[in-house]
Chains A and B, each alone.
Chain A
């Protein structure tokens, strides 16, 4: 089944403890991105990647890192999480940059205490 998977789905952690949220797609898509969703603010793009080894900042990149070493994987790294990074995170992919349809993962609910 064609899909975008994220792990973990739920995570509670403490301030400053490094964490990684994984994202993987099995559709051979070139484009991948990360969004966060907060009440009243909607979904906002954090980082995106147009292909392997090509990443760039979205609207809210502060406090996050990404890497794209393989086409299928696009992990989101929080080096020193803070409470304001408590949010619902979505990974998305599409066949190429600007393709009409983007496929979203199921989401990762992160709580930083």
Chain B
């Protein structure tokens, strides 16, 4: 599975959009981009996934560049409860294993 690169940390003001970048320059054609988050040692929580097209759900939007080498997770209106470690994962859907990296620690401040 392709590796991902994320900034180790970022801050965001409450109510503003949080844009989380992820670089996955070695992604292959059958690999999906997944985003999960983990709030303070709780179990990771699925946010969104995509293959080529941009995706949106009730939690976030996922923007994938045309060459698929990078993506951005957008939390449209960050709240204090969005403070968490966010993981960008690139994987095929074959075996179910999620390869978690270090993620980005996002701190939402009032």
- A positions within 8 Å CB-CB of B: 4, 31, 33, 35, 42-45, 48, 50, 58-59, 88, 90, 92, 94, 97-107
A43 touches B98 (CB 8 A): yes
Q: Given that A33-B96, A98-B94 are known contacts, is A42 also in contact with B102, CB under 8 Å in the complex?
A: yes
- B positions within 8 Å CB-CB of A: 32, 34, 41-46, 49, 92-98, 100-103
| Chief secondary structure at chain A's binding surface | strand
A-B pair number, CB within 8 angstroms: 58
A-chain residues with CB within 8 Å of residue B92 when the two chains form the complex: 98
In the assembled complex, the CB of A89 is this many whole angstroms from the nearest CB of chain B, namely 10
B-chain residues with CB within 8 Å of residue A88 when the two chains form the complex: 41
Q: Which of B43, B46, B102 contacts A101 (CB 8 A)?
A: B46
A100 touches B97 (CB 8 A): no
B32 touches A100 (CB 8 A): yes
In the assembled complex, the CB of B80 is this many whole angstroms from the nearest CB of chain A, namely 21
A64 to B93 Cα, complex, angstroms = 25
Report the nearest A residue to B85, measured CB to CB. Answer: A42
